[in-house]
Amino acid sequence: SSGINAEWPLRPGAYCFYFDYKRRSDPMYKQKLRERRRAERNKAKEEELDIPMPKSVDPQSIQKFFMDQVQTGEEKLGLGDFKGAVKHFASAVLHCGQGYQLLQILQSTMPPEAYKMFMEFLPKAQAKYSRQMMNKGAPRSKEAAAPAQAKAATERVIAEEAVD
């Protein structure tokens, strides 16, 4: 009777060891583990590049969105959240018609380490933004083409800044 009572606390541990052994001896275990870790890394990288996007494309909403992004970026910069600030400033630059002027303003107002992060993040954000826009389809009207032209001008400015 006492042997049976002493055995009960050991059973859950024995089950754990047994199922862990079965899991690890699965021929696909390492491959599944690698795939899961790769998927987690890719998801983290994609989330890192997420930038806010405007809800609609009319000029008034884009202007409001731009102002909101600049304001939010300034708030996050003031709190010391450089990554958050960089995301919002990048979104503002991507939706700004005068990207070069905004880049000059940001360079003069941002701390150097934050501006460096910003300049490293911006090309990645532009690439993701371009992919998203291509998935949505090309603009159909002249009014809709204006943001695309502004974006192309901003990309040229960023490329010039990166060379300097």
Map 65-89 to HEC letters.
HHHHHHHHHHHHHHCCCHHHHHHHH
Contact in structure between 88 and 106 (CB atoms under 8 Å)? no
pTM (predicted TM-score): 0.55
Structure confidence at residue 144 (pLDDT): 47
Contact present, 93 and 66 (Cβ < 8 Å):
no
Query: What span, in angstroms and rounded, lies between the C-alpha atoms of 16 and 68?
Result: 53
Element (H, E) at 43: helix 29-48
Instruction: Report residues of the chain scoring pLDDT below 70.
Output: 1-10, 49, 136-164
| Each residue's pLDDT tens digit, 14-49 | 778 888 888 888 888 888 889 999 999 888 777 776
Determine the pLDDT at residue 142.
Answer: 42
Q: Are 104 and 116 in contact (CB under 8 A)?
A: no
Q: Tokens 């490293």 sit at which residue?
A: 120
- pLDDT reported for residue 145: 47
